[in-house]
Amino acid sequence: SSALTPKEHREPSRLWHTFCDMNTVAKGPEFVVARAEGVWLWDQSGDRYLDGTASLWYCNVGHGRAEIADAVHRQMTTLDAYTVYGDFANAPAMELSERLAAHAPVADPRVILTCGGGESIDTAAKLARSYWVTQGQPQRQHLISRTGGYHGLNGFGTSIIGMERFRSGYGKLIEDTSVVRHDSAAALEAEILRVGADRVAAFFAEPVIGAGGVFLPPENYFTDVARICQKYGVLFVVDSVICGFARMGNWFGIERFGVSPDMIVFAKGVSSGYLPLGGVVVNGRVADPFWNEAGNPFLHGTTYAGHPSACAAAMANLDILEREDLFTVSREVETHLDSALRGLADHPLVAEVRSGTGVMGAVELTEEALNERGVTTAEVFAEARTRGVIVRPVPKALLVSPPLVITWEQIDHMTSTLSSALDAVMARH
């Protein structure tokens, strides 16, 4: 029925794809995702693929949940959209904030709503700096983040990202930022002392580093980090954009490590991506100076803040998470995924498998494969996709983060397909 039949025609569309070199994309037909249901996607020719990445880490409840669509329809025909600003509120935004606050491991929480992760990171960064202004310490501006950390690509996110390739080519980024090794709390303390504790505003960390390659924190890392932040008064901001909403078997990921941050940034799984939504849970310490009689308005926000239809999607999504107890399911999936991925560790092209904390994993290729044989993760990705499984290539690894409703059989299908894809690539090099 569609005029576009990308499998046959070689003319690229006018759509500029993000995160890629359009010269490469324009050389072949675009991969048009036409339909999705559960863990499955179909392209326009009707070929089926297992969505091993839940799109970009977000479709926690799986695709095609009619009850989310129904909730959005009901909301859109009641109140489609109205911005939360000034004294305007709406019921879905208020209910969602209550629900998130009830489960967030922060003291006396308040919730700011946005449209995604990167926007929320910028909100948290501005709020951190602004908080110190309210404390009479405007020089506390420095933001510390971690190698491999990904925090979206807005202004602050681009400036604190722990992957160099995303930072260059845009002129001067936001100043007073630095990156420390992700595997060492001592490195954070050393950096705070180098900068001067009285100049550091906040530290940003993902519970498990996602897009940077699935790096799990060492034993006691977050307890040490929380203690160090407290010792120097540095605000501790957790980026739970990937790790939230049952991907780590709990609400915000960081609960796994028993610490209570000052802010939690969320997005993705809050609505399983059915509509764009994100936000920041802010503790009382940070929020109070803006809520008390001191008169400190936080002059920041967006047009779609607290979008009622997006919030209705999130509420229906959270209903599913709770009703199907995807928190418990997630822990079981995590265990099975971990052992299935470990089966790939012996493959000659594979250096390391990282998994076992949350429903996510990385299969990293050896330096020999990458540098001497000239294997690319893009080739492995392409071979897997040809065989009907979507994984995600990053420079050294293939990442997986399937919907939490994946079955054991589907996990095994995903990992055995990845294994065949590795074999096919090895045979070529």
Of 211 and 404, nearer to ligand PLP (C-beta) is 211
Residue among 251, 277, 247 at smallest CA distance from 264: 251
How far does CA 217 lie from the centroid of its chain? 16
x/- track of binding to ligand PLP for residues 261-290 (CB under 6 A)? ------x----------x------------
Structure tokens at 142: 């420095």
- Candidates 38, 118, 244, 253; binder of ligand PLP (CB under 6 A) is 118
Contact region with ligand PLP (CB under 6 A), list: 36-44, 115-123, 379-387, 411-419: 115-123
> How far, in Å, CA of 60 to CA of 250, rounded?
12
x/- track of binding to ligand PLP for residues 289-308 (CB under 6 A)? --------------------
Of 6 and 213, nearer to ligand PLP (C-beta) is 213
> How far, in Å, CA of 178 to CA of 426, rounded?
39
The answer to the question of residue 206 lying near ligand PLP (CB under 6 A) is: yes
The answer to whether the CB of 191 falls within 8 A of the CB of 176 is no
x/- track of binding to ligand PLP for residues 149-188 (CB under 6 A)? -xxx------------------------------------
Half-sphere exposure of 148 (CA within 13 A, CB side): 19
The answer to the question of residue 125 lying near ligand PLP (CB under 6 A) is: no
x/- track of binding to ligand PLP for residues 2-41 (CB under 6 A)? ----------------------------------------
How far does CA 243 lie from the centroid of its chain? 7
> How far, in Å, CA of 290 to CA of 168, rounded?
35
Of 91 and 153, nearer to ligand PLP (C-beta) is 153
The answer to the question of residue 56 lying near ligand PLP (CB under 6 A) is: yes
> How far, in Å, CA of 302 to CA of 234, rounded?
27
The answer to whether the CB of 192 falls within 8 A of the CB of 232 is yes
Residue 411, number of CB atoms within 10 A of its CB: 23
The residue number with the shortest CB distance to ligand PLP is 117
Of 116 and 213, nearer to ligand PLP (C-beta) is 116
Beta-ladder partners of 284: none
Structure tokens at 153: 């690509």
The answer to the question of residue 122 lying near ligand PLP (CB under 6 A) is: no
Of 59 and 340, nearer to ligand PLP (C-beta) is 59
- Candidates 62, 210, 269, 361; binder of ligand PLP (CB under 6 A) is 210
Of 56 and 424, nearer to ligand PLP (C-beta) is 56
The residues, any chain, with a CB within 8 Å of residue 175's CB and separated by 6 or more, are: none
Inter-CA distances, 215 with 56, 181, 338, 352, 355, Å? 17, 11, 14, 11, 8
x/- track of binding to ligand PLP for residues 65-104 (CB under 6 A)? ----------------------------------------
Of 92 and 117, nearer to ligand PLP (C-beta) is 117
The answer to the question of residue 425 lying near ligand PLP (CB under 6 A) is: no
The answer to the question of residue 333 lying near ligand PLP (CB under 6 A) is: no
> How far, in Å, CA of 166 to CA of 168, rounded?
6
Structure tokens at 429: 């090099």
Structure tokens at 291: 């809520």
Considering the complex, what minimum distance in angstroms separates the CB of residue 71 from ligand PLP? 21
The answer to the question of residue 116 lying near ligand PLP (CB under 6 A) is: yes
Inter-CA distances, 330 with 63, 206, 325, Å? 16, 18, 9
Q: Which residues bind ligand PLP (CB under 6 A)?
A: 56, 116-118, 121, 150-152, 206, 210-211, 239, 241-242, 267, 278
